[in-house]
């Protein structure tokens, strides 16, 4: 997978060349489209049945593969409902998790490791105290196996816009202001998981990576014209603090004169690189791995080797990557390498309007 990923990235981002592979990928996109339509038809005609759970459900999803901020938005939404006094549960697929056990966290104790839970499920458990985190490919089954233990008022379905099997009250779709529709092609030729027409199923769109409230106006205008029933909000992903692998907060000023090696395993590594630049960090080397990359000892030793060769003693990565590196903390310590991550949060510009909208939709 790791060796295939750079090629997949070049094709889906329409980089120059690779004409034959792009043609093949385009043909495969046609098959993917037919598969999507068949899947939707099976649910529409009742051949496959949607199931419902006995509480409010909200899906957080996207149209374009990766890089929109679903996980920070899911955490923002979960905390928002918790602060309203609601009992919240978050349900995720638990991508690449190595166990079928559904309970990642009971809200007070994380019960699975990052490898068992999957990186995003573990990250949610790590950050959402007082909120149970459930994982499972069959989300209805996972929910009902623990529902009586927690009796939630609201369930947030992380990355579930394409998960037709479970009914929900609201679908919120995130689009990046930088590249809202990728290059306009379906997978595997492009990064679309579904055509843009799928937004007809959503009730709201949040445009992310908007640095100022008045940015994104052109996209917002397009969405309102094409989908008049959509409510559109804008927001950005903000840095709360810089944290070490040991959990210690690091002052940004302490990094001002350092050379850093940055690395990540994201669908859109450019966003993490830009985050580092926005923090005015002295990034001299940047490495990217496939999305959801599972780091090995060999990977870690390679990173340390690059750092030592270039006289770098500080590495920085994402929190999502960091949770998969905790087991290798002694290797970094032994090599006298500090490894840090920026703790991020979602900021909505129209927060009061969003709260009013969601209360009205759910009848609070």
Element (H, E) at 260: strand 259-265
Answer yes or no: is pLDDT of 174 > 90: yes
Pick 8 or 223 by higher pLDDT.
223
d(CA 177, CA 223): 12
Q: With beta carbons less than 8 A apart as the criterion, state whether 59 and 172 touch.
A: yes
The answer to whether the annotation marks 64 as part of a ligand binding site is yes
The answer to whether the annotation marks 70 as part of a ligand binding site is yes
- Please identify which residue in the block is written with the tokens 């590249």: 179
Cα–Cα distance list, 334 to 141, 243, 315 (Å): 44, 19, 14
d(CA 170, CA 178): 25
Q: With beta carbons less than 8 A apart as the criterion, state whether 319 and 295 touch.
A: no
Q: Which two three-digit tokens encode residue 65?
A: 């593969």
Pick 272 or 214 by higher pLDDT.
272
Q: Which two three-digit tokens encode residue 317?
A: 């990565």
Average pLDDT over residues 141-157: 97
DSSP for 286-324, written as a single string: EEEE-TT----HHHHHHHHHHHHHTT--EEE--HHHHTT
Answer yes or no: is pLDDT of 286 > 70: yes
Q: Given pLDDT bands bounded at 50, 70 and 90, which one contains residue 348? A: very high
Answer yes or no: is pLDDT of 33 > 90: yes
The candidate with the shortest Cα–Cα distance to 9, out of 174, 130, 187, 167, is 187
Q: What are phi and psi of 194, to 5 degrees?
A: -150, 155
Q: Can you give the pLDDT at residue 199? A: 97
Tens digit of pLDDT for each residue in 54-100? 999 999 999 998 789 999 999 999 999 999 999 999 999 988 778 88
- Residues whose CB is less than 8 angstroms from the CB of residue 13 and which lie 6 or more positions away in sequence, other chains included: 182, 183, 191
d(CA 86, CA 260): 42
Q: Given pLDDT bands bounded at 50, 70 and 90, which one contains residue 3? A: low
The answer to whether the annotation marks 151 as part of a ligand binding site is no
- Please identify which residue in the block is written with the tokens 């990046």: 176
The answer to whether the peptide bond before residue 267 is cis (omega within 30 degrees of 0) is: no
Percent of the chain residues past pLDDT 70, beyond the cut: 99
Do the strands 231-244 and 338-348 form a parallel or antiparallel pair, or are they unpaired? antiparallel
The answer to whether the annotation marks 234 as part of a ligand binding site is no
Tens digit of pLDDT for each residue in 183-228? 889 999 999 999 999 999 999 999 999 988 777 889 999 999 999 9
The answer to whether the annotation marks 173 as part of a ligand binding site is no
- Please identify which residue in the block is written with the tokens 């928002």: 80
Out of 1-10, 83-92, 166-175, 282-291, which region has the weakest mean confidence (pLDDT)?
A: 1-10
Element (H, E) at 238: strand 231-244
Answer yes or no: is pLDDT of 4 > 80: no
The answer to whether the annotation marks 277 as part of a ligand binding site is no
Q: What are phi and psi of 54, to 5 degrees?
A: -80, 50
Q: Can you give the pLDDT at residue 72? A: 95
The candidate with the shortest Cα–Cα distance to 190, out of 32, 61, 37, is 32
- Please identify which residue in the block is written with the tokens 């859109």: 268
Q: Which two three-digit tokens encode residue 287?
A: 């490495």
Q: Can you give the pLDDT at residue 66? A: 79
Q: Can you give the pLDDT at residue 67? A: 81
The answer to whether the annotation marks 68 as part of a ligand binding site is yes
pTM for the model: 0.94
Average pLDDT over residues 128-145: 96
DSSP for 132-165, written as a single string: -EEE-SSHHHHHHHHHHHH--SEEEEET-TT-TT
Q: Can you give the pLDDT at residue 252? A: 87
The candidate with the shortest Cα–Cα distance to 264, out of 328, 325, 192, is 325
Q: With beta carbons less than 8 A apart as the criterion, state whether 231 and 359 touch.
A: no
Average pLDDT over residues 229-255: 92
d(CA 364, CA 84): 10
The answer to whether the annotation marks 60 as part of a ligand binding site is no
pLDDT, averaged across the chain: 92
**Domains of the chain with CATH codes:** 56-238+347-362 (3.40.50.300), 240-344 (3.40.50.10700)
Q: Given pLDDT bands bounded at 50, 70 and 90, which one contains residue 2? A: low
């Amino acid at each position: 997978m790791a060796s295939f990923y750079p090629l997949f990235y070049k094709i889906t981002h329409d980089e120059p060349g690779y004409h034959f592979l792009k043609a093949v990928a385009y043909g495969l996109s046609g098959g993917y489209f037919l598969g999507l339509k068949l899947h939707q038809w099976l649910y529409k005609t009742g051949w496959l049945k949607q199931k419902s759970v006995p509480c409010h459900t909200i899906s957080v999803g996207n149209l374009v593969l990766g890089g929109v901020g679903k996980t920070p938005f899911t955490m923002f939404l979960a905390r928002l409902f918790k602060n309203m006094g609601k009992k919240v549960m978050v349900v995720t697929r638990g991508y690449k998790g190595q166990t079928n056990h559904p309970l990642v966290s009971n809200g007070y104790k994380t019960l699975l490791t990052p490898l068992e839970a999957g990186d995003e499920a573990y990250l949610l458990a790590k950050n959402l105290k007082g909120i149970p985190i459930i994982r499972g490919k069959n989300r209805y089954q996972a929910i009902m196996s623990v529902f009586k233990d927690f009796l939630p008022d609201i369930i947030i379905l992380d990355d579930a816009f394409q998960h037709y099997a479970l009914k929900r009250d609201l679908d919120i779709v995130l689009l990046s202001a930088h590249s809202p529709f990728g290059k306009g092609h379906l997978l595997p030729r492009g990064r679309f998981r579904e055509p843009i027409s799928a937004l007809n199923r959503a009730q709201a769109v949040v445009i992310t990576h908007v640095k100022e409230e008045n940015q994104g106006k052109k996209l917002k205008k397009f969405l309102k014209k094409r989908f008049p029933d959509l409510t559109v909000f804008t927001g950005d992903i903000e840095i709360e603090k810089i944290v070490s692998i040991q959990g210690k907060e690091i002052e940004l000023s302490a990094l001002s004169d350092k050379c850093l090696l940055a690395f990540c395993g994201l669908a859109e590594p450019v966003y993490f690189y830009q985050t580092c630049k926005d923090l005015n960090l002295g990034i001299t080397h940047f490495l990217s791995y496939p999305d959801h990359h599972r780091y090995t000892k060999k990977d870690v030793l390679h990173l340390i080797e690059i750092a030592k060769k270039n006289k770098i003693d500080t590495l920085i990565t994402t929190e999502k990557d960091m949770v998969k590196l905790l087991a290798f903390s002694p290797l970094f310590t032994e090599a006298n390498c500090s490894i840090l991550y920026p703790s991020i949060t979602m900021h909505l510009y129209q927060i009061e309007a969003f709260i009013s909208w969601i209360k009205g939709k759910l009848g609070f």
